[in-house]
Amino acid sequence: MQRYFILFSYKGTTYHGWQRQPNGVSVQQVLEEALSTVLRVPIAVVGAGRTDAGVHARLMVAHFDTEPLVEPMRLVGKLNSLLPYDIAVKKILPVTPEAHARFDAMARRYEYWVTQEKNPFLRDQAAYVRGTLDFEKMNQAARRLMEYTDFTSFSKLHTDVKTNNCKITTAYWEKRGDCWVFVIEADRFLRNMVRAIVGTLLEVGRHKMDVEGFVAVIEKKNRCAAGTSAPAEGLFLVDVRYPLDIYLNT
């Protein structure tokens, strides 16, 4: 058996998140069914992480095991002809037998898109936020995230993780066309973490909370201290990075 990484993107609007669910269609389910159909054997995939319902991925990575593929790129074409319009496979790469899409990831990068104009072409792809926002203050607050490692205040309650520590290396807002985009990168993320951070930064932008108040939220290590989570539709997983030595040169 050979292990492969599959790199793909999806629009999460119609899915109940990445992970298989008993009461709704997930991206994982659709991808596994397509792989199983094309390869004619049951295939299970393990993703780099979980995205919630309505969240998108410009780049998601998963691994699966199968008999060695003579031409992995032929499988890409077959999968894309079978998958729905909102899931697209980019590459399939052979990796070392122990390579793991989730545990070997060194960094993950997310973007959160905000529009302040009603725009039908951005529906489901950017959060529509009304009113004036002070992005300078929001950037001041965002920079403070990199001073901390415990992000309990931005974690979904009652999760099964062993630690709420993460190392954030990038956090800033920038203007892109008609939208503002929050870019954040870390070695790992907690459930709901990015949306909780964005929701709290929006409180700073509305002047309902100052920068020191944002810092106090982090230090309280209490989810109830943070703002409401921002809507799912503005969030994109955009990159997952791995050690280069897990890829096979074949």
Which residues have CB under 8 Å from 101's CB, separation 6+? Answer: 5, 46, 47, 48, 61, 62, 63, 240
CA dihedral 104, 56, 81, 41 (to 10 degrees): 40
**Tokens (6 digits) for 236:** 């994109």
Residue that is written with structure tokens 């936020």 in the block: 129
Out of 52, 86, 134, 245, the active site residue is 52
Candidates 120, 121, 115, 66; CA nearest to 95 is 66
52 classed as catalytic: yes
Q: How far apart are CA 90 and CA 24, in angstroms?
A: 25
242 is in an annotated binding site: no
| Cβ atoms 31, 45 nearer than 8 A | yes
Residue type, 105: A
Residue 220 in tokens: 């309280």
Helices assigned H by DSSP within 61-183: 72-82, 135-144
Residues annotated as catalytic are 52
Which residues are part of a known binding site for substrate?
Answer: 110
